[in-house]
Amino acid sequence: MLIMSATATVVGGEVEAESIDKMKAQLEGKTFRYQEVSGIGLENGITRRDPSDIIRVGETYYVWYTKVDHAKLPRNFLHLKTSGYVGTIWYATSTDEGRTWTEQGQALGLGKKGAFDSFAVFTPNIVKFGGKYYLYYTGVKPTNEDKFFFENNSTTDFTAIGAAVSDSPDGPFTRVSEQPALEVGPRASEEKAKSAFDSYRVDDAALLVRDFDGDGDEDVWLYYKGRNIDHGRRGPLFTKMGVAVADRPESEHVRLNQGKAILDKSHEVMIWPWHEGIGAYASLTKTIEYAPDGLDFTSQPLGVKVVPKPVAPACFREDLTRPVDEGKLISWGISMKNPGGPSPFLIRFELVDE
């Protein structure tokens, strides 16, 4: 169940305080319930992980995810079989709100030799913008191009976020550019100085369509997790969420909040429109948080504990195909089970009354 464990500090006036109370009231007595699914569930020798948010087109629901076929991996890649670092992006469809799925095939393969995404593409997410479907994803290139191998060494194996586009959710998806939509932040140039929170990894995109600059035109908000190169192999314990914005997916994505993180302890990124603001799941604290402006999650922390916690969750979001001014609480989605192996798979969750 969701355990109410934190009291909001009112620092922004009555409107903000009322918003926080309203959020907490909606979560009172709610719990996450999990269900096995067919089509993208447990399959020995197959990794399926890191689902996208779910969209509905007509009467069909779509989800994208990372897939690895263990039998097709070279022997020296097998230690990475349960991770996304040897994966490509696949997709599946459902007509019964995600209870049964039909795997449709690969949605995006590897980039060209030498490109930022030439070794693996994984952790996808989706958004409809300007009548087209944009598939955002994480890309990595090999540590050593000649040996074509990925070390995951916490020093030089940087990631970047790319985007591909299609007229249909069924594809084909083609890359918007050979260059990433978002690269890692700056590394400290002086001894004892701090590198950016996202100086080693940017990953796990989550999208929002909303007017940012008040010009009346919709913009793309790219929420993502960042990992600091200063933390080395302990980095996953300190990942944080950041956000960048672009006037369209083909444009430059500019970091907001002066390039600083907007939410600590957020190793897995799930966001959604909620009332006038944005809800988020912070996986390391196992809490649901809220930002009235989509940026400030910390002045008035919601701090509602999630028990039992989902792993790499993604939710059904109507706003990803039809932007909304005011959102509602999530109802269901897809998350991951058994991420450590031997065959990670996807399950369904619902947010229900206890």
pLDDT at 2: 56
Neighbours of 235 (CB within 10 A): 18
Task: For residue 289, give the amino acid letter.
Answer: E
DSSP three-state, residue 193: coil
Residues 6+ apart with CB under 8 A from 101: 37, 38, 39, 40, 63, 92, 93, 94
Pairing of strands 120-129, 332-337: unpaired
Name, in order, each residue with C-beta under 8 angstroms of 124's C-beta and a sequence gap of 6 or more: 50, 52, 64, 65, 66, 89, 107, 108, 135, 136, 137, 205
CA distances from 267 to 41, 78, 111, 206, 270 (A): 23, 24, 26, 13, 10
Q: How many whole angstroms separate alpha carbon 312 and alpha carbon 268?
A: 6
Distance CA 126, CA 128 (A): 7
pLDDT, position 14: 45
pLDDT at residue 21 in the model? 85
Nearest to 54 by CA among 104, 106, 91: 91
Supply the DSSP symbol for 38.
B
pLDDT at 6: 33
Question: Which pLDDT belongs to residue 190?
Answer: 82
Give the position of tokens 């620092």.
11
Question: Tokens for 350?
Answer: 């619902």
- Answer yes or no: are the C-beta atoms of 102 and 93 closer than 8 Å: yes
Please list the rounded mean pLDDT of every run of 10 residues in the chain (354 residues).
37 56 90 97 98 98 98 94 97 98 98 96 98 98 91 95 98 97 94 92 98 93 98 96 98 97 95 95 95 93 92 97 93 95 96 92
Cα three-residue angle 82-123-244, rounded to 5 degrees? 145
Q: What angle do CA 119, 165, 320 make, to 5 degrees?
A: 110
For position 75, what pLDDT does the model report?
93
CA 345 vs CA 42, 68, 75, 132, 243: distances in Å: 5, 11, 22, 29, 28
Work out the end-to-end distance of the chain between its first and last CA atoms, rounded to an integer number of angstroms: 6
Distance (Å, rounded) from C-alpha 62 to C-alpha 133? 12
Diameter over CA atoms, the chain: 61
What is the value of pTM for the model shown? 0.94
Per-residue pLDDT at 145: 87
C-beta of residue 297 within 8 angstroms of C-beta of residue 289: yes
Instruction: Quote the CA–CA distance of 15 and 21 in Å, as a whole number.
Output: 10
Write out the E strands in 78-145.
88-94, 102-108, 120-129, 132-140
